[in-house]
Each structure stands twice: as structure tokens, then as C-alpha cells.
Amino acid sequence: MNEWIRKGFYLGLGAAIVSKEKVEKYVKDFVANGDLAPEEAKKMIEDLQNKGKDKQEEWNENFRKEFTSTLKQLGFVTMEEFEETKQQLNRLEEKIDELLK
């Protein structure tokens, strides 16, 4: 499973790098041909980068949810569940101590 995750990450990273390079090349070509002003090109690239960051955050969130779901299916607990269980245990220990006094 770790191999699958690693390959997926590298695939996404590679696609992002190639896409960014292609976009920058096309935008530079538009500027060189006079079809786009340099300020517009800069704005366009910034907008695309922001959209890319948003998509990356969305992908990361979806990945986290899927990964957490898979871990739960395998029987692992989350840190929240662990902390809750730990607190319950502490409360039970305190009650036992009170009863033994």
C-alpha cells in the first residue's frame, strides 16, 4: 500500500510540474507574439497557481479521508479515539482510587 501511495504522489507531482512548465511556455509565447500583455500574463500565471494550490489542498484532504478510512478498515484507531480512550481510562483509575480509599 505504501508503494501505491508513493507512486500516486509522484505521478501527481510530475503532472503538476509538467503542466506548470507548459503553461509558462504558452504564456511566454503569447507575450512574445503580442497577444498578451506581460501584466496579464503574470496575473494569469498567478491565478492558475492559486487554482492549482486549491486543487492540491482538495486532493490532500480527499487523500487524508481515504487514508483514514483505509486505516480504520484495517483496525487502526485515530489519535482522537486514542486520546478519548486514554481519558476514559484516567477517569476510571480515579474512580477506583476513590473507591479504595
pLDDT tens figures, 4-54: 666 666 666 666 666 777 777 777 887 888 887 888 878 877 887 787 778
Measured CA distances, 85 to 12, 22, 77, 99 (Å): 37, 51, 10, 21
This model's pTM is above 0.85: no
Ramachandran quadrant class, 77 (left: phi over 0; alpha: psi -120 to 50; beta: rest): beta
What gap in Å lies between CA 88 and CA 38, rounded to an integer? 62
pLDDT value of residue 87: 97
